[in-house]
């Protein structure tokens, strides 16, 4: 790997661009600013566009009539690094170890964004120009639901006209196996607050006389699934598009053992989930309800005999074709209200949401993507769907009228969103090749 490429990577990773915490707003601004400078240096016209949240970086080459226009998209914001004590090295002080760069954002999404940038840089250096008209959009709010990006797309719809979008923010099924993802799950979130007494109570003096909000919350949350892991909300599965036999067959033939690998990657003692579906099917094509956080009551050392006045939980639903996020939230509200135990009050706050995405990997753009992956990795790509979500992808279709090619470079054990996130230098190198190939492949 060229030292200057690695230097760019390390500089990019040193910005603690944590979008969820306002305390880091200035750092996000600095990171965006660095990107604008880098993009200007490689010969693009780059600008910072402010939004009500974190700024969008927008870069273009000189557009010429008669050429295809390609939008590349990524994000410079990252998830919080917590818990810090589980990192082997500080999350914003990148280190290179055995060919892997360790830092928050190394995979999700700075390494993959840099692969776009370096692919553009090398093409411009070798050919003096790109073979296509380019828009590169790097946003700072993907990890918090891309709330301000649709506004940016709508405001600039005419200038942003393009033929296709390309995104590297998904995964590869295994090291060295290029992967084209043609589907993403959607996501929608809510937060529950259960309250009881106006203050924490002595559990001996009041226990037995009033309901305990933590117990009520536990009962309520337990009602979300049956014992086999199927979501127990009425009508939750009504709109789910059944998996087709060809797709099940194709996934069975992928060169991975989903069960073995998920067990090894996660260290979980066993697999668990909806019956009647393989692990990969449950991950890529079935919806879920997940409790992401729960709190309430005494968390300190030793015992405290108390009935907490409040308890809270954060929940997200992963959505699949053809579920609708607003409808799912309505069904969830109805379920929670129906199953709320007596003696407590409940407040539900809806959070961010993003729709699922499904496209055709065999369209002419899809074929071009498969070809570019083959060129970069020397093998035909695996065609898969993904369990994660990239909220803006469905908006590219709705607002700009274009399909998105998802050419991910994240390895299954990259630890995105976890401590010790990492990205292999070999994927940065392959990613640069892949970007050069896709720009060329989409030109004709």
- Which tokens sit at 281? 């099917």
CB of 265 to ligand BES, least distance (A): 13
Q: Is 143 in the site for ligand BES (CB under 6 A)?
A: yes
Q: Is 108 in the site for ligand BES (CB under 6 A)?
A: yes
Q: Out of 170, 215, 279, 359, which residue is the one contacting ligand BES (CB under 6 A)?
A: 170
Q: Is 74 in the site for ligand BES (CB under 6 A)?
A: no
The residue to which tokens 């390309």 are assigned: 166
Q: Which of 154, 138, 111, 162 is nearest to 49 (CA)?
A: 138
Q: Which does 141 bind (CB under 5 to 8 A by kind): ligand BES, Zn ion, none?
A: none
Cis peptide before 322 (omega within 30 of 0): yes
How far apart are the C-alpha atoms of 17 and 57, rounded to whole Å? 14
Q: Is 435 in the site for ligand BES (CB under 6 A)?
A: no
Decide whether 28 or 46 has the Cβ nearer to Zn ion.
28
Per-residue contact flags (x/-) with ligand BES for residues 380 to 419, judged by CB under 6 A = ------x-xxxx----------------------------
203 Cβ contact list (under 8 Å, min separation 6): 305, 306, 307
Q: Three-class SS of residue 126?
A: helix
Q: Which does 355 bind (CB under 5 to 8 A by kind): ligand BES, Zn ion, none?
A: none
How far apart are the C-alpha atoms of 251 and 255, rounded to whole Å? 9
Q: Is 142 in the site for ligand BES (CB under 6 A)?
A: yes
How far apart are the C-alpha atoms of 36 and 25, rounded to whole Å? 17
CB of 439 to Zn ion, least distance (A): 25
Q: Out of 108, 121, 141, 403, which residue is the one contacting Zn ion (CB under 5 A)?
A: 108
302 Cβ contact list (under 8 Å, min separation 6): none
Q: Which does 386 bind (CB under 5 to 8 A by kind): Zn ion, ligand BES, none?
A: ligand BES
Q: Which does 391 bind (CB under 5 to 8 A by kind): ligand BES, Zn ion, none?
A: ligand BES
User: Can you list the positions of beta strands (E) in 264-328?
Assistant: 288-296, 306-307, 310-319
Decide whether 283 or 340 has the Cβ nearer to ligand BES.
283
Distances (CA, A) of 193 to 87, 139, 336, 350, 412: 32, 31, 11, 12, 35
Decide whether 109 or 427 has the Cβ nearer to ligand BES.
109
Q: With CB under 5 A as the contact rule, which of the stretches 33-41, 103-111, 297-305, 344-352 interacts with Zn ion?
A: 103-111
DSSP letter, residue 309: S
* Binding to ligand BES, residues 339-368 (CB under 6 A): 352, 354
- The sign one gets for the Cα dihedral 391, 392, 394, 398 is positive
Name the closest residue to ligand BES (Cβ): 388
Contact 212, 308 (CB under 8 A): yes
Decide whether 146 or 215 has the Cβ nearer to Zn ion.
146
CB of 96 to Zn ion, least distance (A): 22
* Binding to Zn ion, residues 255-314 (CB under 5 A): none
List of residues contacting ligand BES (CB under 6 A)? 108-109, 142-143, 145, 169-171, 187, 352, 354, 386, 388-391
């Amino acid at each position: 790997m060229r030292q200057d490429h690695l230097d760019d990577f390390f500089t990019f990773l040193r910005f603690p661009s944590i979008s969820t915490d306002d305390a880091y707003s200035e750092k996000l601004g600095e990171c965006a600013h660095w990107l604008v400078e880098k993009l200007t240096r490689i010969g693009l016209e780059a600008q910072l566009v402010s939004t009500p949240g974190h700024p969008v970086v927008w870069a273009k080459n000189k557009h010429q009539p008669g050429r295809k226009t390609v939008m590349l998209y990524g994000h410079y914001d990252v998830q919080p690094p917590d818990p810090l004590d589980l990192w082997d090295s500080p999350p914003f002080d990148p280190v290179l170890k055995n060919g892997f760069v360790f830092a928050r954002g190394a995979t999700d999404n700075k390494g993959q964004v840099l692969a776009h940038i370096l692919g553009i840089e090398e093409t411009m250096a070798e050919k003096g120009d790109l073979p296509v008209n380019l828009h590169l959009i790097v946003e700072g709010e993907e990890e918090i639901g891309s709330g301000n990006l649709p506004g940016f797309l709508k405001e600039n719809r005419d200038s942003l006209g393009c033929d296709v979008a390309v995104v590297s923010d998904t995964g590869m099924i295994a090291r060295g196996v290029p992967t084209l993802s043609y589907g993403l799950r959607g996501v929608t979130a809510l937060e529950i607050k259960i309250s009881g007494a106006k203050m924490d109570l002595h559990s001996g003096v009041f226990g037995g006389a009033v309901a305990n909000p933590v117990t009520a919350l536990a009962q309520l949350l337990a009602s979300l699934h049956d014992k086999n892991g199927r979501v127990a909300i009425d009508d939750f599965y009504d709109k789910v598009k059944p998996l087709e036999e060809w797709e099940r067959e194709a996934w069975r033939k992928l060169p991975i053992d989903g069960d073995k690998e998920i067990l090894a990657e996660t260290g979980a003692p066993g697999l668990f989930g909806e019956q009647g579906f393989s692990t990969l099917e449950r991950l890529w094509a079935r919806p879920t309800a997940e409790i992401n956080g729960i709190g309430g009551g005494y968390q300190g050392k030793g015992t405290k005999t108390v009935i907490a006045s409040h308890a809270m939980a954060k929940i997200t639903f992963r959505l699949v074709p053809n579920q609708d996020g607003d409808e799912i939230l309505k069904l969830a509200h109805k379920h929670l209200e129906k199953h709320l135990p007596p003696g407590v009050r409940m407040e539900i706050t809806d959070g961010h949401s993003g729709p699922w995405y499904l496209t055709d990997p065999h369209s002419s753009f899809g074929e071009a993507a498969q070809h570019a992956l083959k060129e970069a990795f020397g093998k035909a790509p695996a065609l898969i769907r993904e369990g994660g979500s990239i909220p803006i992808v469905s908006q590219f279709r709705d607002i700009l009228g274009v399909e998105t090619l998802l050419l991910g470079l994240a390895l299954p054990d990259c630890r995105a969103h976890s401590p010790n996130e990492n990205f292999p230098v070999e994927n940065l190198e392959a990613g640069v090749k892949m970007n050069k190939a896709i720009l060329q492949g989409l030109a004709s």
